[in-house]
Structure 1
């Protein structure tokens, strides 16, 4: 459900910290309970999540980030050794710590494999393995784990973001307009249903490629100065994404489309932080009442203020 770190908080440094739980208020509550060692609420939440694989992966990864999450999930597993949810939580918690070089990656890999055996249809243990491979903590090839995830859930949101980020790092010594990450993103968007948020993956691929090039010193660390977002491919990618948004009518205010809300905010924050305020204004107008609450809870993230500033800039540039 959730992408990797939002574009608005550059991995190159700076920017506010976003709550990884995003707008999942129930997840925030359960995470707080788990941090106190109360795993019963986590058990209930994951049972209620069922086979919504995007949401399940998001919730397990967020719960796995809890301080002492490994200890609490191990305690749950000792109490309920047949629980696939407990095994998945322990695997996700350990994999994320191993990705940060704070746990043994081989142990994390073994726990992921055990969780996968307990729930063969669940892509989440493979998502944890993909995250581990993406971090470089193991020698695993990300594509192998990505294939296992797609076999279980072809539209898995987070897995596609991670795979795009992994591919974008290949051959970062020069800016290649025909780089494989662009082909991957275009292929995934074409394979997905018409209303899938994977339509935005080409934009994500473009951003991840910029990050890789900037980190390698090929492009300036300032996106506005890099020219990466002003070229022909960037214009095509952004036009395709905007066309998708404009053709897609959101008429449900019940909160039934959490992935869509995450995606729309994901790029709106990016545009604001890159100084592309006219584009941010278009996104904010499009989001309307569907804006997620959590990112805007920061003082400098007031949507009204951002939208007014974006409109003033857009009008002033005409």
Structure 2
């Protein structure tokens, strides 16, 4: 297909065909495919990813309640119920809904029940980390534990430890911790975020998607500095940003299976490499994305981050530029 005819697709399942089918059925009120998919999920990492995507789709319906009614002893149904109530609580908080505190209490109780009934599962602890961002004043003791290293902040380190114990370097757990940093009422969130991701990357094993985490902080810094000001685009060509992009490329992407990789991680890496003018390497990541696209982080490079069409246009421009450069013959290549 000619590049000018290429149109990217946004789908939360990405390359996960089984998840795509489960989502289709879920949206029509059917839960059997969801149950069967979760029953055959091979790793805690994929279990975490699948339950998160399914919950985002199920939060506006009662399909998980129907599953629990039919199979009241199902631990997977209980975990999905927990996912759904946490998703609803976070959304209510974001929208300033008057029932947020009530939903928060219900979600917290469901997390504890799921943790008790599925003791090896990291998801209940990941969900508790998601709820921690609602406690901006850090009033709860479990949200202001002493940090494990210098330059880090008091926070829900015990919850992270529990998730880590069950699935070391669980991607969502650390992203939830980063969201907690941004939500803290204490000042210096970006500085704390930088210290946090540097601490994470220093311990994350080769091939871990957490090697991409610093790129999310670069995007947040760009967003806070009103990234649609084109004069700020040079941020991505700075030594720090370019170095973090290369580290993510070689420390994660070169070892990753694209069919199980987060589309958001791939998008952030393609965006960072393109911004650093490293077009041949960016092209590799765009090729791994295939036909898929995520609005973020591209939306922050536009005049209206809420307009998905503008984000798609920015993505296409970056993709075309990177692929064109990668296909240009290099001087002396045929000598």
Which TM class, normalised by the smaller chain length?
0.7 to 0.9
C-alpha displacement at 1:30, in angstroms? 0.7
Out of 262, 265, 268, which is 1:266 matched to? 268
Higher relative contact order (CA 8 A, sep 6+): 1
| Distance in 2 of aligned mates of 1:53 and 1:301 | 35
Cα-to-partner distance string for 1:106-156 (whole Å, 9 max, x where unaligned): 111111111111101101122222222225589552434222211211211
1:285 aligns with 2:284: yes
Deviation at 1:159, TM superposition (A): 1.6
The Cα of 1:48 is off from its aligned counterpart by 0.7
Query: What residue number does 1:48 align with?
Result: 40
User: So what's the TM-score if we normalise by structure 1?
Assistant: 0.73
Question: 1:174/1:78 Cα in 2 relative to 1: closer, same or farther (>3 Å)?
Answer: closer
CA distance in 2, matches of 1:174, 1:26: 42
Give 5+ residue unaligned stretches, structure 1: 1-15
Query: How high is the TM-score relative to the length of structure 2?
Result: 0.70
Post-superposition shift, 1:311?
5.6
- Shift of the 161–225 alpha-carbon distance from structure 1 to 2, 3 Å rule, reads farther
Aligned CA RMSD, in angstroms, stands at 3.7
Aligned partners of 2:246 and 2:292: how far apart in 1? 28
Question: How far does residue 67 in structure 1 lie from its aligned partner after superposition?
Answer: 4.9
The structural deviation recorded for 1:257 is 5.1
* 1:60/1:92 contact within 8 Å kept: yes
Q: Cα gap change, 1:192/1:257 in structure 2, threshold over 3 Å: closer, same or farther?
A: farther
Task: State yes or no: 1:220 paired with 2:226.
Answer: yes
Report what 2:200 is aligned to. Answer: 188
Q: Is the 8 A contact 2:26 2:34 kept in 1?
A: yes
The 8 Å contact of residues 82 and 110 in structure 2, kept in 1 or not, is answered as yes
- Could you report, residue by residue, the CA deviation over 1:24-71 in whole angstroms, capped at 9, with x for unpaired residues? 232122112122221111110000114x12211121122112356552
Q: Distance between the aligned counterparts of 1:118 and 1:111, measured in 2? A: 10
Judging changes above 3 Å, is the alpha-carbon distance between structure 1 residues 221 and 172 closer, same or farther for their aligned structure 2 residues? farther
C-alpha distance in 2 between matches for 1:35 and 1:311: 36
Match of 1:240 in 2: 247
**Cα distance change on mapping 1:17 and 1:132 into 2, 3 Å:** farther
Q: Does 1:32 align with 2:34?
A: no
Q: Distance in 2 between matches of 1:256 and 1:270?
A: 18
CA distance in 2, matches of 1:21, 1:91: 20
Are the structure 2 counterparts of residues 306 and 203 from structure 1 closer, same or farther at C-alpha, using a change threshold of 3 Å?
Answer: closer
Q: 1:222 to 1:58 in 2, by over 3 A?
A: same
Structure of higher CA gyration radius: 2
Structure 2 gap segments, 5+ residues each: 1-7, 144-155, 296-307, 329-335
> Matches of 1:282 and 1:172 in 2, distance apart?
38
Residue 64 of structure 1 is matched in structure 2 by 55
